[in-house]
Amino acid sequence: MRIAVRAFNDNPGSPVLVFGNALGTRMPLWTSVAARLADDFQIYLTDLPGHTLPAGDFLAEASAPVTIEALASGVVESLAELGVESFAYCGVSISGAIGLTLALNHPERLTGLVACATAEKFGTSESWDERIGEVRSDGTGSLVDDTADRWFAAGFLGEDIATGHLILSDLALVDDEAYVAAASALKTYDVSGKLGSITTPTLVMAGAQDPGCTPEAMSSLAEQIKDARFVTIPDSAHLPMAEHPEIVVDHIQEFCGQL
């Protein structure tokens, strides 16, 4: 299936860096990071189906329920349509899962992988069924309060900046069926025991206060990937690129500089 890809800047000839978003977030999630890297990279932002751009065309193309494997293949195919044959991929949460799947299924395309706040498997079938039922009943807006506690470190939303509130507003505006489609993909995703075959240079990034993809779990994930580097972003939870973009940028620049 195709996914939406948009060029963030116009920097031909530079190394390509592609960003992928968390479930329930939109293309602007990575823009504070992307803007700081725009002079050194040709940057593309990807969209989970229907999150920023309309879902109809993308979801209609899927002959079966959306899977992480299909989304990873969609990244490759959609970038190829733009003439991009190889790239470094930086994904958070569900897009971190897409990144790990790219490294497993399409290693010839990847020059490097940054896997942020992600996992080999997310939750259980029962927990995903519960969340999908909630969205179908009450919409994505019903998720905002609980999600805020997972996405952001204590005190962040009380600071005098708009970033966190804008991201949560985006969650409330995401198309319900688009959210359900991506959540269903996570329900069936499981790469447990497979990460040892990844050969792509990998940086694993955790938020110090992430309650789900904890630093301990992320460190364990990194240990399974040959020569993977592991870093923790202080004073951040599930979305460190929003809370501390400058620290995230430093790690990405250092990592990509060694590719």
Enumerate residues 6+ apart whose C-beta is below 8 A from 251.
Answer: 114, 203, 205, 231, 233
pLDDT for 114 equals 98
Q: Across all residues in the chain, what is the average pLDDT? A: 94
Tell me the pLDDT tens digit for each residue of 3-42.
Answer: 899 999 999 999 999 999 999 999 999 999 999 999 999 9
> pTM above the 0.85 mark?
yes
Query: What DSSP line would sit under 210-237, residue for residue?
Result: -SSS-HHHHHHHHHTSTT-EEEEETT--
Q: Is the pLDDT of residue 60 over 70?
A: no
What's the whole-number mean pLDDT along residues 249-254?
A: 98
pLDDT for 28 equals 93
Q: Is the pLDDT of residue 55 over 90?
A: no
% of the chain with per-residue pLDDT over 90: 91
Rounded to whole angstroms, the Cα distance separating 170 from 198 reads 33
Tell me the pLDDT tens digit for each residue of 174-200.
Answer: 999 999 999 999 999 999 999 999 999
Q: Give the start-end residues of each E strand in the chain.
A: 4-7, 16-20, 42-47, 87-92, 110-116, 202-207, 229-233
pLDDT for 64 equals 63
Cα 167 to Cα 23, 42, 242: the distances in Å are 11, 24, 9
What's the whole-number mean pLDDT along residues 150-165?
A: 93
Enumerate residues 6+ apart whose C-beta is below 8 A from 220.
Answer: none
Tell me the pLDDT tens digit for each residue of 90-122.
Answer: 999 999 999 999 999 999 999 999 999 999 999
Strand order in the sheet with 110-116: 4-7, 42-47, 16-20, 87-92, 110-116, 202-207, 229-233
What's the whole-number mean pLDDT along residues 68-74?
A: 96
SS3 content of the chain, % helix, strand, coil (to 5): 50, 15, 35
Q: Is the pLDDT of residue 78 over 60?
A: yes
Here the tokens at position 140 are 């994505």
